[in-house]
Amino acid sequence: MRAPIFVIAVLCWLIGAGCAAAGERLRVATEGAYPPFNYIDATGQLAGFDIDIAHALCRELAAPCEIAAVLWDDLLPALAAGKHDFVIASMAKTPERETLADFSVPYYRTRSVFIGRSDRTFMLSGPGLKGLRLISQAATVQDAYLRQTYGSVATIIGADTFIEAYRRLTTGDADLLLADTLTSYEFLRSEQGATFDVVGDPLPEDALPSAVHIQVRKGNDALRVRINQGLERIRLSGEFHRINQKYFPFSIY
C-alpha cells in the first residue's frame, strides 16, 4: 500500500530536507563517455558503475533517478545553474571544482598510470619524455598534471573524452596516455588494448587525487548528507559490493 503524499512529505521533513519531494525525480548528471563507469550501451542507454550507484542511491533516497549525459566541461556549471540535483561522473576533488560544488565522501578510489605500446621502452622523466606526445582528457586532473609536469618538454594533447584519448593512442596519434588505473584495466582487457601495457608505476598518491566523489550544488548540505548516508547504507547492505563485482573482480573502495 502506498503512503499518502502528506505522510511521505512529513517523514522527509523529520529525517532531513535532503529527501526529494513526493513524486519528484532526482535529476542526475553524468558524462556517458567513461567506460566502465558511465557510457552509452548497445541499446543507446546510459550504463556503467556510476549509473548503477546512482540508481542505488535514489532508491535509498526514495526517489526515482532521471539521469542525463552531459559534456564533461558542462557538468559542474549545469549543476551550479540548478539543472541537476547531483553529479556522479567519477570526478576527483580539486580546489577549483570546490568553488562550483560541494563533494560527498569518496565512493571509490583509483590511481593514475601511463599507458603505452608494450613493444616500446619509455623513461618517465622530463628528458625521457622530450618530444613525445602525451594525451589525456582535457580539463581532467591528469591533463593538468601533464601540462604542469611535462608541458615544457612534450606535446600535451587534450582529448574531448577518455574514449577519444584511448582511440588516438591506438591509432598512433599519441605516444603515452595518462589515465586512471580502472579505466585502463578495462582498455587493456579489450581487443584494442592488446598491444598496450602499463608503463612504470602508478603516480604517487600525492601527485594526483585518488578519491572519487559525488557533487551537489554549493550549500545543499541536506542532500550531501543524505547521499553520504546512502553510500554508507549501500556498502553495509552489500549492494555496493554487488555493483563493484559486476565491473571489477577486486574492490575499488
Higher local confidence (pLDDT), 178 or 8: 178
The pLDDT value recorded for residue 24 is 77
The pLDDT value recorded for residue 106 is 98
Confidence bin at 2 (pLDDT 50/70/90): very low
Q: Where in the chain is the domain with CATH 3.40.190.10?
A: 5-109+210-247, 112-199
Confidence bin at 20 (pLDDT 50/70/90): low
pLDDT of 45-76, one tens digit each? Answer: 999 999 999 999 999 999 999 999 999 999 99
The pLDDT value recorded for residue 23 is 58
Q: What mean pLDDT is predicted for residues 84-106? A: 98
Tell me: domain 5-109+210-247, CATH 3.90.105.10, correct?
no
pLDDT, the chain, mean? 92
Superfamily of domain 112-199: Periplasmic binding protein-like II (3.40.190.10)
Higher local confidence (pLDDT), 9 or 247: 247
pLDDT at 228 over 90: yes
The pLDDT value recorded for residue 9 is 37
The pLDDT value recorded for residue 158 is 98
Beta bridge partners of 27: 66
The pLDDT value recorded for residue 237 is 98
Q: CA 202, CA 217: separation in Å to the nearest integer?
A: 32
